[in-house]
Amino acid sequence: MRFDTGQSSDFIDFMNKTAECSSCTNTERAHHLRRGRRLEYFTLGWNMLEAAVAIGAGWLAGSIALVGFGVDSLIECTSGAILLWRLASPAHDESRERLALRLVGGSFFLLAAYVCFEAVKSLVTSETPETSIAGIVLAAVSLIVMPLLARAKRKVAADLGSHALVADSRQTDLCAYLSAILLGGLALNALFGWWWADPVAALIMVPIIAREGFEAWRGEVCEDCH
């Protein structure tokens, strides 16, 4: 399944605005930083709520995939906290930007390892979870919210010339992909008893998550932005 989150057009916008970021006034930059911080605060709040609902519903239903999705949300809180630290700087700081990119990349690797572990564990144990209406609703709502949030982050990243925020927006995109995987797995299990659908799909996502980690880890900072 492919999600059109506007990445191509937003990437062009990012490159164009990055080239112009040196002309931004301090007032404009402060405005963009405030927008970025608001998005990260929303991300943190959403992920914590998502984690609480997913872990609780997953524990009640015996769903490894749903519990894993909740723990994934906790891991993504790390990325949000990193970006809040990055956006605390009123001026462009190359060393802070580079370190933020490395930390976001590391969170991708952690996420890939966790998803892989949970998927393999689910396949080995062959435990069939009960139907979770709360999990299905949560995955469906996340599937709507996350692409919109990722697009908003990329717009702010373009205004700031921040590759770290772009990397974080990709992780938000991955949350949408994982929401689709979770929704499909829960729905197939509820309708047909196909318990294996979710862990198999999750394993397919692992190399994609790892690739994003490598791209963030090797990302270049905007040396001309101030």
User: Quick check: is 4 in a domain?
Assistant: no
Q: Is residue 162 part of a domain?
A: yes
In terms of pLDDT, which residue wins out, 132 or 92? 132
Residue 164 lies in a domain: yes
Question: What does the alpha-carbon distance between residue 69 and residue 178 come to, in Å, rounded to a whole number?
Answer: 8
Place of tokens 């057009």: 9
**Which stretches within the chain are classed as H helix?**
7-20, 26-61, 64-87, 94-125, 133-160, 163-192, 197-217
**pLDDT score of 205 more than 70:** yes
Q: What is the mean pLDDT of residues 101-105?
A: 77
Identify whether 111 is part of a domain: yes
Q: How many domains does the chain have?
A: 1
DSSP state of 88: T
Q: Which CATH number does the domain housing residue 131 bear?
A: 1.20.1510.10
* Domain that residue 193 falls in: 25-217
Domain assignment of residue 53, yes or no: yes
Distances (CA, A) of 151 to 7, 8, 80, 87, 179: 8, 11, 15, 18, 17
Tokens of 36: 């970025």
> What pLDDT digit, counting tens, does each position of 106-161 carry?
887 888 898 898 888 888 888 677 888 999 999 999 999 999 988 988 888 887 77
